[in-house]
């Protein structure tokens, strides 16, 4: 069996994955979306990264021996604010109905957009609203153990009661307090204490509890859902580096104070930039996954760009990388079109992925593979097959399949074929060069010449060649 090694944020080391809770079986929990709006490109990176890890785990251990949990946060102040905005704009329904509608709509969007990127559904996808009882039980346990306290309808975690607080991020409480935006509230014993339960008014979603009608804080949700679905100890917890503090730090504190071993390996993907700058609405470089898809960027191209950078490094989305990814994928599709995949994934690709999910190296090695092993490797990394990729098929033109609106291209293909048949290779190469300068790649296929329209295709330049 391939030995998988992963970078553990908590120990700052690359460690072997050794499932010990249930030998031979792997449990992984990844923080999923808060469903108040479309997923932006940064939200998609952890979904893609941990999808590859999920595929690798299934490949190595067997699909039946992997449990992948990715939660949905469907109770949150941001969702409430969006529903209030809709009501103010004249939407029908109670505020609670508008909140539920918004959550359901956004979950549907998320599923559609992630599917377009080749992301498989997780084994379990718990919604926070479905696990309120375990959250309340955990909060009661923390109070009973002296790690939490009630104050003015809120329940807060007592940070100083957990001596290892800060081990994940490697910072002291004082450092975290200096750099954090903490909510100042008179009912807190300490500014670092965080909310486990908060009151809800009659309009907002709420549940009965020993502390009155209210709703859970964000951090307790993941601790409770992970324990319910994976047990008190499991193998991998993942998410974006932005969640390391305070979310994951707080998850560890809550769970440890309940006596849970929780996750052994913590993995975090780095942040995303656009053309070398932080993605933000103020810079005008903020876009969602749906924005790119609607602009005609194929989902597998987005996936390729994301996997071209190691997950532990900042990723830069650029127009150049997008074009290069599309070109490389098209080359792979041409190579594997109509070919049966190998039964085995090439060892060099397995080894790259097993070495802390080195997708950049895996893609580099895949450039060197023959058609059958390449197709097997593409399947493992979650890329579609050439036979089902519409944009690739629509760009490939043969003399037999040329349509009337491709008359100019068909004529040039016939001319190129004639020059090659006459063994006038100098003239044939000259024509090919000029056609390719117009954004069309020519090649000699088994049934005659074929042409592929490239991303920089220029119809006017091609027209000038007839």
Check residue 178 and give its pLDDT: 61
d(CA 81, CA 98) in angstroms, rounded, equals 11
Question: Which residues, other chains included, contact 66 with Cβ-Cβ below 8 Å and sequence gap of 6+?
Answer: 25, 26, 28, 54, 57, 58, 123
Q: For each successive 10 residues of the chain (466 residues), what is the average pLDDT?
A: 96 94 93 94 96 98 97 91 88 87 94 98 97 98 98 95 93 65 77 94 91 95 97 97 95 98 96 89 86 96 98 95 92 91 97 98 97 98 95 78 79 89 91 93 80 84 88
Check residue 340 and give its pLDDT: 96
Check residue 450 and give its pLDDT: 84
DSSP label of 119: P
Question: Which residues, other chains included, contact 419 with Cβ-Cβ below 8 Å and sequence gap of 6+?
Answer: 425, 427, 428, 431
Secondary structure (3-state) at 156: strand
pTM, rounded to two decimals: 0.87
Check residue 118 and give its pLDDT: 98
Return the closest-CA partner of residue 314 out of 117, 42, 9, 70. Answer: 42
Peptide bond into 442 cis (omega under 30): no
Check residue 333 and give its pLDDT: 92
d(CA 303, CA 116) in angstroms, rounded, equals 9
Secondary structure (3-state) at 446: coil
d(CA 458, CA 436) in angstroms, rounded, equals 10
Check residue 181 and give its pLDDT: 55
């Amino acid at each position: 069996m391939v030995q998988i090694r992963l970078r553990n944020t908590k120990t700052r080391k690359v460690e072997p994955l050794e499932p010990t809770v249930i030998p031979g079986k792997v449990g992984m929990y990844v923080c999923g979306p808060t469903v108040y709006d479309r997923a932006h490109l940064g939200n998609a990176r952890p979904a893609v990264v941990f999808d590859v890890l999920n595929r690798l785990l299934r490949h190595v251990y067997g699909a039946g021996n992997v449990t992948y949990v990715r939660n949905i946060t469907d109770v949150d102040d941001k969702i409430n604010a969006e529903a209030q905005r809709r009501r103010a704009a004249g939407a029908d329904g109670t505020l609670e109905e508008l909140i539920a509608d918004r959550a359901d709509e956004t979950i549907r969007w998320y599923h559609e957009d992630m599917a377009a990127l080749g992301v498989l559904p997780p084994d379990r996808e718990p919604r926070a609203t479905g696990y309120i009882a375990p959250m309340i039980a955990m909060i009661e346990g923390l109070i009973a153990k002296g790690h939490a306290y009630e104050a003015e309808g809120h329940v807060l975690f007592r940070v100083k009661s957990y001596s290892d607080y800060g081990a994940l991020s490697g910072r002291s409480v004082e450092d975290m307090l200096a750099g954090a935006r903490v909510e100042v509230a008179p009912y807190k014993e300490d500014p670092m204490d965080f909310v486990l339960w908060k009151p809800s008014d009659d309009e907002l979603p709420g549940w009965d509890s020993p502390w009155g009608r209210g709703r859970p804080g964000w951090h307790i949700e993941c601790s409770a859902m992970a324990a319910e679905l994976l047990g008190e100890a499991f193998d991998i917890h993942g998410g974006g580096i932005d969640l390391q503090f305070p979310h994951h730090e707080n998850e560890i504190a809550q769970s440890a104070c309940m006596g849970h071993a929780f996750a052994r390996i913590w993995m975090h993907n780095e942040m995303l930039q656009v053309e070398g700058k932080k993605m933000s609405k103020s810079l005008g470089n903020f876009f969602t996954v749906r924005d790119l898809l609607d602009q005609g960027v194929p989902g597998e191209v987005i996936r390729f760009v994301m996997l071209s950078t190691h997950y532990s490094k900042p990723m830069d989305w650029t127009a150049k990388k997008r074009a290069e990814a599309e070109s490389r994928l098209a080359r792979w599709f041409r190579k594997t079109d109509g070919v049966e995949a190998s039964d085995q994934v090439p060892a060099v690709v397995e080894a790259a992925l097993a070495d802390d999910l080195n997708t950049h190296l895996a893609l580099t090695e895949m450039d060197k593979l023959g058609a059958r092993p390449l197709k097997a490797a593409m399947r493992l990394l979650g890329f579609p097959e050439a036979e089902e990729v519409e944009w690739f098929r629509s760009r490939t033109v043969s003399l037999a399949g040329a349509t009337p609106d491709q008359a100019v291209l068909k004529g040039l293909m016939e001319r190129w074929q004639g020059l090659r048949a006459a063994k006038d290779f100098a003239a044939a190469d000259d024509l090919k060069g000029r056609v390719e300068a117009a954004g069309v790649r020519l090649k000699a296929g088994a049934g005659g010449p074929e042409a592929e329209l490239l991303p920089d295709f220029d119809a006017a330049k091609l027209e000038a060649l007839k």
